[in-house]
Amino acid sequence: MFGGYYLLILIIGIASFAVSARLKSKFEYYSRVHLRNGMSGAEIATKMLHDNGIYDVRVISTPGRLTDHYNPADKTVNLSEAVYNERNAAAAAVAAHEVGHAVQHATAYSALQLRSKLVPVTNIASQLSMPLLFIGILMGAVVKMGIGWYIAVAGFGLMAIATVFSLITLPVEYDASNRALAWLKNKNMLTPQEYDGAQDSLKWAARTYLVAAIGAVATLLYYGLMLFGGRSRD
C-alpha cells in the first residue's frame, strides 16, 4: 500500500528537482543577457503597469531569491532584490510576469478571482489533509471500517480542494506569462535575443507549476483508489 505511494512521491520529487534545477540554471544564464534598453526590473514593471492604465499598484523590493509575487490584497508587485535592481532578460521576464498578475486583477480575470477565493480554505486543506488521511488509514479506512474511513474521506476531500487549487493555478500562471510576453514584444522592449531569453525563462518557470499540479493529481488518484477502489463497504 505505502510502497506505491512512496515510489510515486519519489518520481514526482525527482521531476520537481530536475525542473527546479533547470529553471535555476536558465535564470542564471539569462541573467547574463543584459538589456540594451538599460531598464531595471522595477522600471519595466512600472512601465508595464502604466501602459495598461494601472496607477494604483506599487512596485516594491522583497528579500530573497525567486520570491517574486503579486499581492492583490495590498496591490503590490513584489520583486526579489535581484529582479528589482538587475537589468537583464531574466529580470525583465519575471517583472513583466508579476505585472501580468496585476493586469489580471485589474481586468477581473476569472481564474485569478477563483484562485484568490480558494486561498484561505486551501491553506487549511493543505495542513489537514495528510494528517486526516493517515489517521483514518491507521484506524482501518483501507478496509472501509467505521469512523476511520470517514476521517480518511474527510482528508481526501480536503486534498481534492488543494488539488483543484493547483489546477486553477496553471491557467493563471500561463496567462500572466502570455500577457508579459505580448507586452514585451508589442512595445519592442527587448531585442530578439533578449525576448527569446525572457520567453525561455518563463517557459521553465511555468513547468514548475505543471509538475506540482501533476503531482497533486497523481497523489489524489492514489488515495482515491485506496479509499474507494476494491471491495465495497461492509
DSSP single-letter state for residue 232 = P
Give the residue numbers annotated as catalytic, written as ranges.
98
- If we measure between CA atoms, which residue out of 80, 74, 86 comes closest to residue 98? 80
**Other C-beta atoms lying within 10 Å of the C-beta of residue 111:** 16
Asked if 183 and 48 count as a contact pair (C-beta separation under 8 A), the reply is yes
Give me the DSSP letters along 63-114. Answer: SSSS--EEETTTTEEEEEHHHHH--BHHHHHHHHHHHHHHHHHHTT-HHHHH
C-alpha cell at 208: 514548475
Tell me how far apart the terminal alpha carbons of the chain are, to the nearest angstrom.
Answer: 20
Backbone angles phi, psi at 40, to 5 degrees: -85, 170
For the chain, strand residue ranges (E) read: 58-62, 69-71, 76-80
Task: List CB contacts of 176: < 8 A, sequence separation 6 or more.
Answer: 97, 98, 100, 101, 103, 104
